[in-house]
Amino acid sequence: MENKLLYDHKKLNATITRLAYELIENHDQFANTAIIGLQPRGIQIARIIRQRVEEIIQAKVKYGELDITFFRDDYRTHHDKQLVASPIHIPFSTENINIILIDDVLYTGRSIRSAMDAILGFGRPSKIELCVLIDRKFNRENPIAPDYTGKAIDTRGQGQRVKVQWETGNYNVWLINE
């Protein structure tokens, strides 16, 4: 089976803009809402969505970046490789505000569960929502579903993966068959 282009640059830009408008529709001026991108691969899309939202509403949006390396349930099992965590940057309390977690691909749900655990270290949010570029349906290990989705795809599990390319000015998303 051949690799499949899910998004070319033009379609990906349109989808990101749509996601920004969906967030604005539900959060208006973002007065009590923050966007948090998940390291490492959710950061790029979170930054772009935040920028689009700010351009549209003409206001700053609370923004943070979260690394979940040491919150994962499997981090102790990586004896064969050195784990390197990225800096966590959440310059605000999450207490009683709405949080929108942004990641590139939702697969098993384990990363999102870990992110929710990590967020509680910064305060107890009023609500946590999830925005993903790609939802790989039918592969969940945890009962997690996105509130905002760029595209939902059916995948066969471990024989396929999604590759998001963020090369400057030329974004693409591929379904890779291994």
Distance CA 35, CA 26 (A): 13
CB atoms within 10 A of CB 144: 15
pLDDT digit string (tens) for 30-69?
999 999 999 888 999 999 999 999 999 999 999 999 999 8
Name which of 3-7, 81-85, 127-131 the model is least confident about: 81-85
What pLDDT is recorded for position 81?
Answer: 61
Q: 133, exposed or middle or buried, with CB in 10 Å at 0-12, 13-18, 19+?
A: buried
State what percent of residues in the chain have pLDDT above 70.
89
> Domain containing 34: what range?
4-75+82-177
What pLDDT is recorded for position 178?
Answer: 78
pLDDT digit string (tens) for 72-86?
555 555 555 666 677
Q: Is 141 a residue whose pLDDT tops 60?
A: yes
Q: Which two tokens stand for residue 11?
A: 């379609």
Number of domains in the chain: 1
Among 9, 19, 76, 80, residue whose Cα is nearest residue 47: 19
Distance CA 164, CA 162 (A): 7
Confidence of residue 1 (pLDDT cuts 50, 70, 90): low
What pLDDT is recorded for position 172?
Answer: 85
Do the Cβ atoms of 6 and 174 come closer than 8 Å? yes
Do the Cβ atoms of 101 and 112 come closer than 8 Å? yes
User: 161 has which bridge partners?
Assistant: 176
Among 36, 37, 30, residue whose Cα is nearest residue 54: 30
Higher-pLDDT residue of 12 and 156 is 12
CATH code at position 168: 3.40.50.2020
Q: 178, exposed or middle or buried, with CB in 10 Å at 0-12, 13-18, 19+?
A: exposed
Confidence of residue 115 (pLDDT cuts 50, 70, 90): very high
How confident is the model over 9-24, as a mean pLDDT? 95
